[in-house]
Amino acid sequence: MNNQPLTIAYITSGGAGMYCGSCMRDNSVAAAMYRAGQDIHLIPTYTPIRTDEENVSDEKVFYGGINVYLEQTVPGYRFLPGFLTRWLDSPKIIRWATSGNINTDAKQLGALTLSMLKGTEGNQRKEALRLVSWLTDSIRPDVINLSNMLIAGCLPAIKKKLDCPVIVTLQGDDIFMNDLAEPFKQKCLTQIRELVPHVDQFIVFSQYYADYMSELFGIPADKFSLVPLGIETADLPLDAAEQRNPIKSHPPTIGYLARLAPEKGLHQLVDAFIELKLQPEMDEALLKIAGWLGAKDQAYADQQFKKLKDAGLESSFEYAGSVDRSGKLEFLQSLDVLSVPTVYHEPKGLFVLEALAAGVPVVQPQHGAFPELITATGGGILVPPDDTSELAKQLALLLSDRSATHELGLSGCRTVHQKFNSAEVAQQTVDVYHKLIAQQ
């Protein structure tokens, strides 16, 4: 292990005002690097990041979302001098502009995504050059880490100016890419494959995702480093989870903690809960739902709430809204089990680690990163994907023996605190940096 401090430029993507799992993970690991003595710069792109922990990102935003959009859609705008347009990159202006649930649907952003991937050959040329100039003149990093390939169009220009390793953390690029409309999806994939040689190493959180992204983006197997997903556990003390007695503190309770969106599978959990309530001794069971709800998914969420009410379960569920950090911790402490039965193959699963860190076991579909997470932590149960009856059955079994369920959660809790905390993950990430620097 090399303890020599590094200057790190970590370039992340804002989530247009919503809580974004990737930028929350990036912020947590960057904060741990800072506490360990690294000279870390967490640099937002598109929009400022939103996180429920202390935000350690830089105030400056590159590839500001307003300018990026106008450069793509307004003829001649990209040729205007910077002093006329740069004010639109103010974090306050961007936060105001994104406060109204702007559209970030990949189906509508094909041309813009392709242009961004072209870097200095695209409509956002001056954005790429501005970032490269700032990295060169102000930071002079020892290593650069991008949070996804969708912001990698600037890499050829960066490589020309800076002689340092470049790492890309892959944590959901495929989800956005798969939603792109043709012909842009194929064109963007081609562009990404051309950018892969400019990346020195890719960090992933599971072998599943390494294998999948290797095929999708044409990445050689030896370019992957497997680093565990990590979360901040300081305000989720292990002894608090060990001393918690859920049997005395609340009725048997199932939780859902994620965006309220079709891809996250809330409808499957609702269907399973309705089925569960028909089983013996499940009449007191509750369903608690928390998470960010965007305007485009309001009708979907309303449909799920109506389904529960029509089943006569209005008093058996509640929606806590988009919870902040303290609200999230309180929410987790009120649960016996958590389930977010995603429809897509989840590459991360932060909510799994958050639940386990609080001593709450999980029931998840057997796909994506979940099998590796459950095997590594020992804190949950896997069910066949899209099988709401089996999901209902396993949830009922856990709620019927809450003492055993509590022990299952504690088993996962101890492992998360030991192996999946942000300090441990930050050190493993820095070790990857040092290894690449030594190979330069």
HEC letters along 149-179: HHHHHHHHHHHHHCCCCEEEECCCHHHHHHH
- Each domain of the chain, given as residue ranges in start order, spans 7-231+422-439, 238-419
* Residue of 208, 243, 210, 204 lying closest to 227 (CA atoms): 204
The predicted structure's pLDDT at residue 316 = 96
The predicted structure's pLDDT at residue 265 = 97
Do 8 and 33 contact (CB within 8 A), yes or no? yes
Q: Which fold has domain 238-419?
A: Rossmann fold (3.40.50)
Residue 199: exposed, middle, or buried by beta-carbon count in 10 A (0-12, 13-18, 19+)?
buried
Do 152 and 168 contact (CB within 8 A), yes or no? yes
d(CA 251, CA 266) in angstroms, rounded, equals: 21
The predicted structure's pLDDT at residue 346 = 94
The CATH classification number of 7-231+422-439 equals: 3.40.50.2000
Same topology between domain 7-231+422-439 and domain 238-419: yes
Quote the pTM value: 0.92
Q: Integer distance in angstroms from the first to the last C-alpha of the chain? A: 17
d(CA 352, CA 415) in angstroms, rounded, equals: 12
For the chain, residues with pLDDT lower than 50 are none
The predicted structure's pLDDT at residue 107 = 55
